């Protein structure tokens, strides 16, 4: 149960009762997302059971469910779109009001969850036989990255700069490599994460304490980046990206500052150089399906990013590891582990 980043407790609650069209899932693995420790975002609804990067085993089937059976190994999406509104029909599934309202009960950091009927209908995915429960916790974060790079229309041969080498930045690096990016450059201020960026596919890593623009020109044949992907919420990351994008290029804001923070934009420069600013939020059904295929085909392999597997009595330390962004990459809870 999340109260704040420094107060995460193990609490007892009843196993959820399921109704018509619903499933009861025994959670086997549940990853901590960077958004779970965005305190300004989460504390508004605290206390709350968080967790949305889950895999598990179906242990009970509600009346009317025919597509799944007890014992199925699955990933379950916490947010699902209606697929019928204006936004869904125009490809903006993550702008759908239904997607923002849906969730499972309680959150993924629990031993059992109730999967509502709408999630059963369009948010449950059978895990491929060659995918472990732990690996399956990457489906949702990879799907979000898939969506971002799809919207940015990443092309083979492009120079890509990823600002921020936490878990989302590392997945962006990995997918950009699989998509044929010509040169991938990463930046961060944390040595551990800079080393991780090198391990997971970056050609060059720049310490963000340096002049990133100048270093970028040095390593990229005196050119800036065709695509800059912002994976850090600091204002300096948002503004710095604008100094690192080449003419005709794009900046994808995958992470953004807190709501009250305004990002100054040099509109005249962007206009003169035909630079595109864009955002990406969450993942839709197509993105999740693509993520499953990328992982099961081994075009994208993320298992080595798992640095910690913890039982629930280590909930506080687990959140601290992610919130401090130190010597960890992916932290996973295993509810059944003692």
Q: What is the pLDDT of residue 155?
A: 94
Give the architecture (CATH level 2) of 143-279. Answer: 3-Layer(aba) Sandwich (3.40)
Which H or E element spans position 76? strand 73-76
Q: What is the pLDDT of residue 36?
A: 85
pLDDT, tens digit, 9 for 90 and up, residues 208-249:
999 999 999 999 999 999 999 999 999 999 999 999 999 999
> Is 2-138+302-333 a domain of CATH 3.90.180.10?
yes
| Measured distance CA(9)–CA(109) in Å, rounded | 11
Q: What is the pLDDT of residue 38?
A: 82
Q: What is the 3-state secondary structure (H, E, C) of 125-163?
A: EECCCCCCHHHHCCHHHHHHHHHHHHHHCCCCCCEEEEE
Asked whether the beta carbons of 114 and 17 are under 8 A apart, the reply is yes
Q: Is the peptide bond before 113 cis (omega within 30 degrees of 0)?
A: no
Residue 188 clears pLDDT 70, i.e. is over it: yes
Look at the pTM and tell me if it is higher than 0.85: yes
Average pLDDT over all residues of the chain: 95
Q: Mean pLDDT across the stretch 146-164? A: 97
**Residue 251: which pLDDT band, with cuts at 50, 70 and 90?**
very high
pLDDT, tens digit, 9 for 90 and up, residues 298-317:
999 999 999 999 998 888 89
pLDDT, tens digit, 9 for 90 and up, residues 38-88:
887 788 888 999 999 999 999 999 999 999 999 999 999 999 999 999 999
Q: Mean pLDDT across the stretch 263-270? A: 95
Task: Map out the domains of the chain as residue ranges.
Answer: 2-138+302-333, 143-279
Beta strand 53-61 with 183-188: parallel, antiparallel or unpaired? Answer: unpaired
Max intra-chain CA distance, the chain:
63
Q: What is the pLDDT of residue 338?
A: 67
What is the phi/psi pair of residue 117, to 5°? -60, -40
């Amino acid at each position: 149960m999340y109260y704040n980043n420094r107060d995460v407790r193990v609490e007892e609650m009843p196993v959820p009762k399921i109704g018509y069209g619903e499933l009861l899932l025994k959670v086997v693995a549940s990853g901590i997302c960077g958004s779970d420790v965005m305190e300004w975002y989460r504390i508004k609804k605290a206390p709350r059971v968080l967790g949305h990067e889950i895999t598990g085993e179906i242990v009970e089937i509600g009346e009317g469910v025919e597509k799944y059976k007890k014992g199925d190994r699955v990933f379950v999406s916490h947010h699902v779109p209606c697929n019928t509104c204006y936004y869904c029909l125009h490809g903006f599934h993550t702008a759908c009001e239904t997607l923002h309202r849906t969730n499972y009960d309680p959150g993924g950091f629990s031993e059992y969850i109730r999967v509502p009927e709408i999630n059963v209908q369009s948010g449950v995915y059978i895990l491929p036989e060659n995918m472990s429960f732990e690996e399956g916790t990457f489906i949702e974060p990879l799907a979000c990255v898939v969506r971002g790079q799809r919207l940015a229309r990443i092309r083979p041969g492009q120079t890509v700069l990823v600002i921020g080498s936490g878990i989302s930045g590392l997945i962006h690096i990995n997918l950009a490599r699989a998509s044929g990016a010509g040169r991938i450059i990463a930046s961060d201020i944390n040595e551990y994460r800079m080393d991780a960026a090198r391990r997971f596919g970056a050609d060059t890593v720049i310490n963000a304490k340096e002049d990133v623009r100048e270093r970028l020109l040095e390593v990229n044949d005196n050119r800036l980046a065709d695509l800059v992907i912002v994976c850090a919420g600091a204002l300096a990351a948002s503004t710095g990206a604008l100094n690192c994008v080449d003419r005709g290029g794009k900046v994808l804001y995958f992470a953004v500052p807190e709501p009250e923070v305004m990002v100054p934009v040099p509109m005249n420069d962007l206009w003169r150089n035909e630079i595109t600013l864009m955002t990406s939020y969450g993942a839709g059904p197509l993105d999740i399906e693509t993520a499953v295929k990328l992982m099961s085909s081994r075009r994208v392999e993320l298992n080595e990013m798992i640095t910690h597997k913890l039982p629930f009595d280590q909930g506080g330390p687990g959140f601290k590891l992610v919130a401090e962004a130190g010597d960890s990459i992916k932290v996973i809870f295993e509810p059944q582990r003692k």
